[in-house]
Amino acid sequence: MRFCAQIVCLILLACIMLMSCSGYEKIKRSNDVNYKLSMANKYFDKKDYYRAREMYEALMPVMKGTKNFEPMYYKYAMACFSTKDYNSSSYHFKNYTNSFPNSPNVDEADFLHAYSIYKMSPKITVMQSNTEKALEVLQTFVNNNPNSKHVDEANKYIAEAQAKLEEKAAIAAKLYYNINQYRSATVVYKNLQTDYPASTKMDEYQYMIVKANYKFAQASIKEKQEERYVNVLSAYQELVDNYPKSPFIKEAEKYFTLASTNIKKLKK
């Protein structure tokens, strides 16, 4: 009996789904534009964004230029965003703000344009061009809309994007160091200090500059070693002067001592 009841339930569910689908297809085939728009809005309100988006898309050519186009287009962009098609939503939100600059939805659309790009930011292991673009558009949003209710949220994503880009650069610097490309490692660590002055890892980057300079001097031809060991001393002094409480000072002191000893040997 229980098995039969389950079969009946499955059949009823299939029938309901079939009726629902056939109803949707009937709406799509309708030539009544106002009816289709009304149903698209109902799908949108019910958070059935895939159907709402498809219906708005079909209505786009006939609605353009009418009084209903602006609110419909905004909902269409929202449907793109809600279905996680961030490439489309970033484009349509930007187009919306350009097309309807006086709309009360402009602030929201402008933010969601930037946020859509941020949502396309990839994993740390791949190229970060979308993260860089997101950082740029989010900062532009904050600069242009200082009183927006989304400023705090935008600043949060700016900080996250900066942290991601910093981490990516730090990984590259460490990779250069690990494959014995010490000069390149030094350049990238210095760039990290310049690009992210508020970083909590500034002293660590300076310590790595000390190490990379020492390794670079050590691997150099004899004629170049003395001046390069001097760079180790300078890098160490910068660490001590700028970050006197750094936990890396004690370890960096070893390289300072080794470099000083090697300079004395070279001078003899």
- pLDDT per residue as tens digits for the range 201-235: 999 999 999 999 999 999 999 999 999 999 999 99
Residue 74 and residue 97 in contact, taking contact as beta carbons nearer than 8 Å: no
Token pair in block for residue 180 = 């014995």
Report how far apart the first and last C-alpha atoms of the chain are (Å, whole number). Answer: 101
Would you say residue 70 lies in a domain? no
Report the number of distinct structural domains present in the chain.
Answer: 2
Q: In terms of C-beta density within 10 A (0-12 exposed, 13-18 middle, 19 or more buried), how is residue 75 classed? A: buried
- The pLDDT of residue 32: 72
Mean pLDDT for the chain overall: 90
- Assign residue 208 the CATH number of its domain: 1.20.58
Would you say residue 94 lies in a domain? no
Q: pLDDT band for position 267 (50/70/90)?
A: confident
Would you say residue 6 lies in a domain? yes
Of 21-25, 124-128, 147-151, 186-190, least confident by mean pLDDT is 21-25
- The pLDDT of residue 141: 96
The pLDDT tens digits for 87-97 are: 999 999 999 99
Would you say residue 25 lies in a domain? yes
pLDDT(3) > 90: no
Residue 235 and residue 217 in contact, taking contact as beta carbons nearer than 8 Å: no
Would you say residue 135 lies in a domain? no
Task: Look up tokens 């708005």; give the residue.
Answer: 56
Would you say residue 118 lies in a domain? no
Would you say residue 137 lies in a domain? no
Residue 211 and residue 174 in contact, taking contact as beta carbons nearer than 8 Å: no
Q: pLDDT band for position 6 (50/70/90)?
A: low
DSSP secondary structure letter of residue 103: -
Q: Which residues contact 154 (CB under 8 A, 6 or more apart)?
A: 111, 114, 115, 138, 141, 142, 148
Q: How many CB atoms lie within 10 A of CB 181?
A: 16
- The pLDDT of residue 122: 77
The residue with greater pLDDT, 175 or 6, is 175
pLDDT(5) > 70: no
Would you say residue 81 lies in a domain? no
The pLDDT tens digits for 97-146 are: 999 999 999 999 999 999 999 999 877 766 778 899 999 999 999 999 99
pLDDT(19) > 60: no
Give the domain extent around 199.
181-268
- The pLDDT of residue 121: 87
pLDDT(169) > 80: yes
Angle at 256 between CA 253 and CA 261, to 5 degrees: 130
pLDDT(185) > 90: yes
Q: pLDDT band for position 4 (50/70/90)?
A: very low
